[in-house]
Structure formats: structure tokens, C-alpha cells
Amino acid sequence: MAKSHEPDFLDEIIQESTKRDPGFPALLAAAEARRALVRELTAIRKQKGLSQTEVAAAMSTSQSAIARLESLDDAKESTLDRYATAIGVKIARTVVDADTALAA
């Protein structure tokens, strides 16, 4: 379980964004899930001994683009799919009802 903390500026922004758009927490959760996926894919790349340059070549892009992707910039799912293919893995997705997912 996460430690509780005193509300900070980020918490205030999240609260304000949620007031304006009740769907904001779901968007935030999706972004956090993508970031976790990027961390996992990066760990797999390293575990397989692949360099950013090798992955970039397989994706027909630059090493610097791979470095930006791995530094947790928000990425399109299609880019993550291409990255996964370049390191020899597939990303599995599951579709769930939004109301059910929020209740969990």
C-alpha cells in the first residue's frame, strides 16, 4: 500500500483537473500504466543485451528517439508495439469495462 503524504502542488493539479473532467483519473492511470510498460520494456532490452542503437536500427529511427522513449516521455501505443517487436516481445492488452475498472 502506498504511503500517505501531505497534499502537494501535483495533488492540487490532479484535483482541479478532475473537477473539470471527471474522466481525468482514468487518463492519469492510463499514462501511469504506459510509463510502467516503458520501464518494463527497457529492462527487457537491457536483459537481452540489446543497445539503444540496435533497437533504433530495427525500428528505423534514431538512438536519441529510443533514449527519449526510455526516459518516460509519453509514447503512442503503436510506438511501444514497434519497440516491443524490435526487442523480441509482444504486448498483450485487455479490454475492460471502464466502470468495472474504476471500481477495482
Entry pTM: 0.77
| Amino acid of residue 1 | M
Mean pLDDT of 11-28: 90
φ, ψ at 72 (rounded to 5°): 80, 20
Pick 60 or 9 by higher pLDDT: 60
pLDDT band at 73 (very low <50, low <70, confident <90, very high): low
User: Which domains are delineated in the chain?
Assistant: 25-103 (1.10.260.40)
Inter-residue contact 63 to 56 (CB < 8 Å): yes
Place of cell 528517439: 65
For the cut 80, the answer to whether the pLDDT of residue 95 exceeds it is yes
